Amino acid sequence: MSWRGFARALENIPIGNCVICGESYSSRTSVTVAGKNICSNCYRKMKNVVNSRIKKINGALDEIEKSISLKNNLKNYSKLVESAKELLIYEKKGFDIFKNFTPSQIIAEYEGKKEQIMLDGIRADIDEALKKSKIAATQSAKITPFNKILMLIEEYKDEIKDKAKLKELELRAKELKYETQVDMFVEDAKKAEFKGDKNKALDKYMEALYLLKNMEISNLKFVTKEKEIEEKILKLK
Ligand SMILES: [Zn+2]
């Protein structure tokens, strides 16, 4: 063995075990991170995982704050918690490398917030449905957005424990749907009146009145509308 070869052999003598995988490393193949020695394989993996998961967590937090929709919120919630779980190993091994939060803090905080995140998503979906309905050109397109919300609520209702909050959102969606329907009948009635078609006008006002009398929601707006429509019907009869 030459001296050169001997020196190289010394460099490769194991001097410790990697904190993460437990494999032995030599001085040449180890890296010190936050005061702990790890093998170069684990270092490479750590660098990739930590950087990419922190990026994912920050992205998910931003999106959740914007509260886009129920489906997006659920997707971002999973992204957040799963990414934090993948970082847990480094926290458990004692690497003090997380600045503003630790993975276990993120998990603890958001595991209790899932329901709120879902409810916020439904609320955002209702606002969006109202916007879509307002700009829709056809009558069915004005109603569809609200039906979609009601189906979504039906789909996720078992996952939400706060039934009172859920019911409140469901009633809000129904209220907007009924209001849109009543306004559509009244608009048709007014058009028929304008054209001199009394029978059609009467029929459309009756449709609106039937809806108002049979809906499960009562509010001042609907009571006022009902009175106005009843007066109209009396005049037309
Ligand atoms: Zn290792």
What distances in angstroms separate CA 199 from CA 146, 163, 230, 231, one per listed residue? 30, 44, 15, 16
pLDDT for res 4: 61
What distances in angstroms separate CA 127 from CA 112, 161, 167, one per listed residue? 25, 22, 16
Contact 31, 9 (CB under 8 A): no
Contact 204, 189 (CB under 8 A): yes
How much distance in Å is there from the Cα of 37 to the middle of ligand 1? 9
**Per-residue pLDDT at 232 exceeds 60:** yes
How much distance in Å is there from the Cα of 11 to the middle of ligand 1? 18
**Per-residue pLDDT at 5 exceeds 80:** no
How much distance in Å is there from the Cα of 236 to the middle of ligand 1? 86
How much distance in Å is there from the Cα of 61 to the middle of ligand 1? 31
pLDDT tens string 63-91: 998 888 999 999 999 999 999 999 999 99
How much distance in Å is there from the Cα of 15 to the middle of ligand 1? 13
* Average pLDDT estimate for 33-61: 93
**Per-residue pLDDT at 188 exceeds 90:** yes
Neighbour tally for 186: CB within 10 Å: 19
How much distance in Å is there from the Cα of 23 to the middle of ligand 1? 6
Rounded to two decimals, the pTM is: 0.80
Residue holding tokens 């006022």? 224
Q: How many residues does the chain have?
A: 237
Mean of pLDDT over the chain: 92
How much distance in Å is there from the Cα of 140 to the middle of ligand 1? 61
How much distance in Å is there from the Cα of 78 to the middle of ligand 1? 28
User: Quick one: tokens of 192?
Assistant: 């028929």
What distances in angstroms separate CA 118 from CA 6, 59, 122, one per listed residue? 64, 18, 6
Q: What residues does 37 pair with on adjacent strands?
A: 32
Q: Which of 10, 126, 103, 96 is nearest to 57 (CA)?
A: 103
Which residues contact residue 102 at a Cβ distance below 8 angstroms, ignoring those fewer than 6 apart?
A: 91
Q: How sure is the predictor about 170, in pLDDT bands with cuts at 50, 70 and 90?
A: very high
Give first-to-last CA distance, the chain, whole Å: 116
Residue holding tokens 């009843």? 230
How much distance in Å is there from the Cα of 19 to the middle of ligand 1? 7
**Cα–Cα dist 52/44, whole Å:** 12
How much distance in Å is there from the Cα of 8 to the middle of ligand 1? 21
User: Quick one: tokens of 28?
Assistant: 């040449």
How much distance in Å is there from the Cα of 30 to the middle of ligand 1? 9
How much distance in Å is there from the Cα of 84 to the middle of ligand 1? 20
Contact 20, 93 (CB under 8 A): yes
Q: How sure is the predictor about 9, in pLDDT bands with cuts at 50, 70 and 90?
A: low
